[in-house]
Amino acid sequence: MPFNLPIALTWLRIAVIPVFVALFYIPESWVSVPVRDAIAAWIFIAAAITDWADGWLARRWKQTSAFGAFLDPVADKLMVAAALLVLLKLGRVDSLIALVIIGREIAISALREWMAQMGASASVAVHWLGKFKTAAQMVAIPCLLYKTSWHDVPIYVIGQILIVIAALLTVWSMFYYLKKAWPTIRDRA
């Protein structure tokens, strides 16, 4: 297993997930809800930044690897799933939205794995729909975690709008990937 700074950043993103979730089990007498929510939002933002940074560094320093290509999306999906489950527990995201986003991630990951085994991974390569979906949810989640208005900007409302957009893009991108994979599935199933 290769170890370099991009992979270390990915492992850091995975390691911070229990800390992120544990924040919501700290008694309010130790940390107020607004402070807890701000810390959680910043942890998620830092994780999103490291997601971008590890890929950029790996490409720039020519340190890409099959293991890094596997681990990076796993870290992303774990962090998003943990955040959505926390938001669900807090009543800040609808269960249908959380189910759609998490379910799509599992389904498309399985599809990509299967297509790779058939030598057809290019047919389900990342598309701009997936990138927009990721961007929408990466902005929505910290807004929903933070919940408080900032200089009269309704952060939470922005998060609610963006998470619905992310869910719609999630469904759209899932159908896009399934459509791209269908000829291979039909011919080899």
Model pLDDT, residue 43: 97
Give tens-digit pLDDT for 12-35. Answer: 999 999 999 999 999 999 999 999
Model pLDDT, residue 189: 64
* CB environment 105-129: b (16+ within 10 A), e (fewer): beebeebbebbeeeebeebbeeeeb
pLDDT for 125 beyond 80: no
Residues 6+ apart with CB under 8 A from 61: 4, 5, 6
Model pLDDT, residue 1: 66
Return mean pLDDT, the chain.
90
What the chain holds in terms of domains, given with CATH numbers, is 5-184 (1.20.120.1760)
Give tens-digit pLDDT for 134-185. Answer: 999 999 999 999 988 888 889 999 999 999 999 999 999 999 888 888 888 7
